[in-house]
């Protein structure tokens, strides 16, 4: 990002929103993998717990 972009609050909000959304998606993937590895419930149950977007 350039200095001009950093000085625009709206640009920062959009950037942070997309960044947080990406992090949330990645954490959901990690959680679903973790549940699958430790074997809580069936695979179909895991899919219900963590719906794919």
Range of the domain at 10: 3-49
**pLDDT attached to residue 35:** 81
The rounded distance, in Å, linking the Cα atoms of 45 and 35 is 10
Overall number of domains in the chain: 1
SS (H, E, C) the chain: CCHHHHCCHHHHHHHHHHHHHHHHHHHHHHHHHHHHHHCCCCHHHHHHHCCCC
Q: Count CB atoms within 10 A of the CB of residue 31.
A: 13
pLDDT digits (tens, 9 = 90+) for 1-48: 567 666 678 888 888 889 888 888 889 888 888 887 777 655 555 555
């Amino acid at each position: 990002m350039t200095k001009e972009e950093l000085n625009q609050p709206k640009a920062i909000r959009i950037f942070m929103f997309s960044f947080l959304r990406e992090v949330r998606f990645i954490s959901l993937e990690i959680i679903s993998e973790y549940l699958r590895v430790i074997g809580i419930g069936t695979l179909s149950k895991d899919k219900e717990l963590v719906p794919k977007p």
